[in-house]
Each structure stands twice: as C-alpha cells, then as structure tokens.
C-alpha cells in the first residue's frame, strides 16, 4: 500500500464503516462487528504511515482544487501522526466500551450513535492529516456537525438546550473568527499551506500579528480557551462514550491540535518570539488552567468535575506552545497523547460507575472502590496522569513543559504549572481516598445497602483497563511520540 493510498483509506474507511453500520442496523451483533472491524482496519492503516514519517517523509494526497491555489490536500507530518495514531487507536477501545455502555443502559438510537461516531472519526482523520487551512476548516466543521447528534442523543429539553450551546458556540467562533483569520492569511501570503517555520514572516508585522493570533486562537473554539469554553461542560449531558469522544479522542484534541499546528506551521516560533504583544496567549492559557482548576474543585457532579479538568488540561497544551521554546512545544505534542489516555480512562470510569450504580456525584462514591476495584483502580491511574505523577504519561509531558519554561526564562509559567498541579491533586485525590478508604454509605430505602453491586459489564471494564495501562506504558515506552515531537520542532534525536 502506498502512503497516498493509506491517507485516502484513513479518511474513507470510517465512512465506509458508517454505511455498513446503517445496512446492519437491525442486527445489533452484526452492526457492532462492522464497527469493530472498521476500527481495527483504520488503526492498521494509520500505522503503515509511521515508518515513512519517522524517516523524514511527508506523504501527501491532493483531491480537488476548490479554487486556484487552494486544494483539498492532505499531508502527514509529525504532529498529525501523533494525533492520528491516538485517535485511531482510542476509537477501537471506545467502541468496545460503547458496546457495553449502550447495551448496559438500554440506550435508544444505537445505530445512529455508531454512524455519527464513525463520521466524526473520519473528519478527525481529515483534521490530523490536513495539508492546509482550508482542508482543516472543512473537516473541523464536519466534526462539529457530526457530533451534534451525539451530544443531543437523549433528546430531552435540557439536552436540546445544551446541544444549541454546543453548536452555536463552535459554529459562531469558527465562521466568525477562524474563517476571517484564514482570509487575512490568504490575502497576506497567497497560500494557506502548513509550512515548517510558518508562512507569515515578512507578510504580517507588529500589532497585526497579535490580532491575527487572537482570531486564530479564539476561532478554534474546540480548544475551549476561556471565555469560549461553555460548550464543553454543557455537552456533558451526552452519554459517557460521547463524553470520551469529546474529551479524549476527537473534538477537544482537534482543537488543541489545530492550535499547535497554527503556531508552528502558520506563524512559526521565530515570528511570535520576535513580535511584541503576542504574550496575551500565554497569559490567557495560564489563566484558563488556574480558573478551570478552581471551578473543578467545587463540582460535585463527577462528569462536570472532569469537564472543567479537561478545560484546564487543554490549556496546558496551548500554554506550552505559547511559551515558544522548542522543548515546550514538544511537551504540548506529548500532552495531546498523555491527556487522551488519562482523560478517556477517567470518563470510562465515570460511565462504569453510572452503569453499575447510577451514581453521578462525587459525594456518593464513599467505599465504591471496594465494590469496583478495577474501575476505581483505573480512575486512580488516570488521575495520577492528569496530576503528572510518575510512572504515568502526564509526568513526561509536564516535565518537558517545565524544562521549556525554564529555558525560556518564564518563571511565571513554572509557577502556573506547579500551582495547577497542586490544584489537580486537590480535586482528584479526594475521590480516590473516599473510594478506597471510606466505608460505603447505607442509603437503601429498604434497610439494605444501596451499594450491593459489582463491576460494570465486561466490555466497559476491559476498555478502561486498556486505557489505564496505556497511560502507564507511554511513560515507559515514550520513544515513538518523542521522536515525532522532536521532528515537529526539528530537534535532532
């Protein structure tokens, strides 16, 4: 298989899977078999691209010219390779989890769920391998539209209101700000291609750089930089597999991926370092990290606590990129992978708890680790990764961020990372403590214990165990993402 064919297949396979899911919709076992076969084929296809990219190749595929000089074009570069690998692998695990969750909770519209999920992954692959801003923008919008039915899956008035916030914020930012930034870039440079070192140097100068950076950063609403973040906690009304998709596999990762890609390949680190007035991004990201962490501390609903944690963790990626040191940008790239494995584990655990007990609040989790040791053990691993404790992947990415902050002599960045890490510990560690070290509450209405339950269905437990193991394995076997991250900033191994 040629690299060009592999790129095309990576985008087409999920769409073909969606068609197969529709055709098999009345036969659940066949429908889910089609889903699983498609996920495995996609990951295998993406893996075929790795050796070439590591060897310095940048395979590309051009489809059509939308207008002269602006084609729909895909190109695989190191950052996209990291994102593509993470998203395609986690689709396998999320699909296993979804089978257990959707059946265990007797969810309706399951065929529609799997179809929209497949379309979302296809657009995610398009974002990962986008060769220019137009291609990224088209796939970005398809991702928004395809995930809307997933967010509004339950169909209640509350869910419908949350869906409107989700769609309204993401479409208004991308059309009102991101599209304007793209037009400005096209007029200034005559190209929208992602180019190592950037395309804006000598084309846009002075305050214009800071303004254009603002349009890009807030136009990429999926990065959830405050105050453009409300869509993310609103979307927590969705089923847990969708929350996992939003927070780990596709949506928010597409946001921070696009942020890093724009900083590295559109602006370039040298231009941003040389231009006064671009420090606002560093400040905004740091503020988002701290504010979202403080809000997370106050949330009793487990999914909302995880949602605000996600907002904070996403801004670590933006923050690390905004430090503008090559090694901190490597930390940003590594955190895309580290956060994916840690946060999907946490959401899987939240869904496991809900499926087995229908509990949704942190205050209801006393002693639950005794009944659900696999679930809460995985939750503990995911939490430690989010805090940044070895031996988990979160430690590696935060380490590179700290080294980059010291190299750039940004001591405020060092302080933000340390303080936010303490806040991470403050809202995660109490959950682990009460789960394992407090006695279960007797809340049964008939005089018995309401905690007479075990683990969730086996597919759920398998999925969360795999992702928790992945968060640890990335610590011990980081060479592949490290090599790709080094290529991103042209650091020689």
* Residue range 264-322, pLDDT digits in tens: 999 999 999 999 989 999 999 999 999 999 999 999 999 899 999 999 999 999 999 99
User: Would you state the pLDDT for residue 244?
Assistant: 75
* pLDDT of 492 strictly over 80: no
At residue 301, φ and ψ (nearest 5 deg) are: -70, 125
Q: What is the pLDDT of residues 21-48, one digit of tens each?
A: 999 988 989 999 999 999 999 999 999 9
Residue given tokens 């379309």 in the structure block: 119
- Give the 3-state secondary structure percentages of the chain, helix then strand then coil, rounded to 5: 75, 5, 20
User: Would you state the pLDDT for residue 493?
Assistant: 39
Q: How far apart are CA 113 and CA 364, in angstroms?
A: 29
pLDDT-based confidence at residue 442 (cuts at 50, 70, 90): low
At residue 63, φ and ψ (nearest 5 deg) are: -95, -75
Q: Which helix (H) or strand (E) holds 346?
A: helix 326-357
Half-sphere exposure of 419 (CA within 13 A, CB side): 15
| Contact between 420 and 335 (Cβ < 8 Å) | no
User: Would you state the pLDDT for residue 105?
Assistant: 73
Mapped onto helix, strand or coil, the DSSP state of residue 483 is helix
Tell me how many helices (H) and strands (E) the chain has. 22, 2
Q: How far apart are CA 146 and CA 151, in angstroms?
A: 10
Mapped onto helix, strand or coil, the DSSP state of residue 272 is helix
Q: What is the pLDDT of residues 228-264, one digit of tens each?
A: 999 888 887 777 777 777 667 788 889 999 999 999 9
Question: Residues near 175 by Cβ (< 8 Å), separated by ≥ 6?
Answer: none
Q: How far apart are CA 347 and CA 25, in angstroms?
A: 27
User: Would you state the pLDDT for residue 12?
Assistant: 97
* pLDDT of 448 strictly over 50: no
How large is the average pLDDT for residues 348-356? 91
β partners of residue 71: 65
At residue 416, φ and ψ (nearest 5 deg) are: -60, -45
pLDDT-based confidence at residue 397 (cuts at 50, 70, 90): very high
Residue given tokens 């988990």 in the structure block: 392
What does the mean pLDDT of the chain come to?
A: 91
User: Would you state the pLDDT for residue 446?
Assistant: 40
Nearest CA among 271, 430, 299, 292 for reference residue 366: 430
* pLDDT of 443 strictly over 80: no
User: Would you state the pLDDT for residue 445?
Assistant: 45
Neighbours of 56 (CB within 10 A): 8
How large is the average pLDDT for residues 139-144? 95
Question: Residues near 418 by Cβ (< 8 Å), separated by ≥ 6?
Answer: none
Q: How far apart are CA 11 and CA 124, in angstroms?
A: 8
* pLDDT of 333 strictly over 50: yes
Q: What is the pLDDT of residues 62-75, one digit of tens each?
A: 999 888 888 999 99
At residue 67, φ and ψ (nearest 5 deg) are: -155, 165
How large is the average pLDDT for residues 12-17? 96
| Contact between 451 and 367 (Cβ < 8 Å) | yes
Using a CB cutoff of 8 Å and minimum separation of 24, what contacts does 363-367 make?
A: 363/300, 364/441, 364/443, 365/302, 365/431, 365/434, 365/435, 366/434, 366/435, 366/438, 366/439, 366/440, 366/441, 367/434, 367/435, 367/436, 367/438, 367/439, 367/440, 367/441, 367/451
Q: What is the pLDDT of residues 449-480, one digit of tens each?
A: 445 678 988 999 999 999 999 999 999 999 99
Which tokens sit at 276?
């006064």
Q: How far apart are CA 93 and CA 90, in angstroms?
A: 5
Neighbours of 87 (CB within 10 A): 29
Which tokens sit at 169?
């914020």
User: Would you state the pLDDT for residue 453?
Assistant: 73
């Amino acid at each position: 298989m040629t690299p060009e064919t592999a790129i095309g297949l990576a985008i087409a396979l999920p769409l073909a899977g969606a068609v197969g899911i529709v055709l098999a919709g009345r036969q659940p076992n066949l429908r889910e078999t089609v889903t699983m076969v498609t996920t495995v084929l996609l990951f295998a296809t993406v893996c075929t691209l790795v050796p070439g990219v590591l060897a310095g190749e940048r395979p590309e595929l051009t489809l059509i010219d939308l207008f002269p000089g602006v084609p729909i074009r895909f190109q695989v570069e190191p950052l996209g390779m990291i994102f593509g690998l993470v998203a395609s692998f986690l689709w396998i695990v999320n699909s296993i989890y979804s089978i257990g969750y959707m059946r265990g909770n007797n969810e309706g519209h399951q065929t529609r769920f799997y179809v929209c999920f497949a379309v979302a992954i296809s657009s995610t692959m398009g974002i990962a391998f986008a060769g220019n801003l137009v291609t990224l923008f088209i796939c970005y919008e398809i991702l928004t539209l395809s995930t809307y039915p997933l967010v509004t899956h339950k169909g209640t008035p509350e869910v419908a209101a949350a869906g409107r916030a989700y769609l309204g914020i993401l479409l208004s930012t991308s059309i009102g700000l991101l599209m304007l930034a793209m037009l400005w870039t096209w007029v200034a440079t005559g190209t929208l291609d992602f180019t190592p070192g950037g395309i804006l140097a000598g084309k846009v100068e002075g305050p214009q750089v800071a303004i254009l950076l603002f349009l890009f950063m807030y136009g990429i609403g999926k990065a959830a930089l405050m105050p453009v973040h409300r869509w993310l906690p609103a979307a927590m009304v969705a089923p847990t597999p969708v929350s996992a998709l939003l927070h780990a596999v596709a949506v928010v990762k597409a946001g921070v991926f696009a942020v890093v890609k724009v900083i590295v390949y559109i602006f370039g680190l040298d231009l941003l370092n040389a231009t006064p007035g671009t420090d606002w991004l560093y400040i905004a990201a740091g503020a988002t990290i701290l504010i979202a962490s403080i809000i997370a501390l106050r949330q009793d609903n487990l999914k909302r606590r995880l949602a605000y944690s996600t907002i904070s963790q996403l801004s670590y990626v933006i923050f690390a990129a905004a430090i503008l040191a090559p090694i901190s940008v490597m930390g940003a790239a590594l955190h895309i992978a580290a956060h994916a494995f840690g946060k999907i584990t946490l959401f899987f655990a939240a869904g496991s708890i809900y499926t087995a007990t229908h509990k949704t609040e942190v205050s209801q989790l006393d002693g639950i680790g005794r009944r659900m040791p696999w679930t809460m053990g995985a939750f503990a691993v995911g939490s430690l990764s989010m805090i940044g404790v070895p031996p988990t992947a979160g430690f590696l990415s935060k380490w590179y961020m700290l080294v980059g902050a010291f190299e750039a002599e940004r001591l405020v960045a060092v302080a933000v990372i340390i303080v936010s890490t303490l806040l991470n510990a403050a809202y995660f560690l109490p959950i682990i403590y009460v789960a394992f070290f407090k006695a279960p509450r007797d809340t049964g209405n008939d005089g018995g214990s309401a905690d007479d339950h075990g683990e969730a269905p086996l597919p759920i437990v398998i999925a969360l165990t795999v992702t928790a193991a992945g968060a640890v394995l990335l610590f011990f076997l980081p060479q592949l993402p490290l090599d790709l991250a080094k290529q991103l900033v042209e650091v020689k191994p």
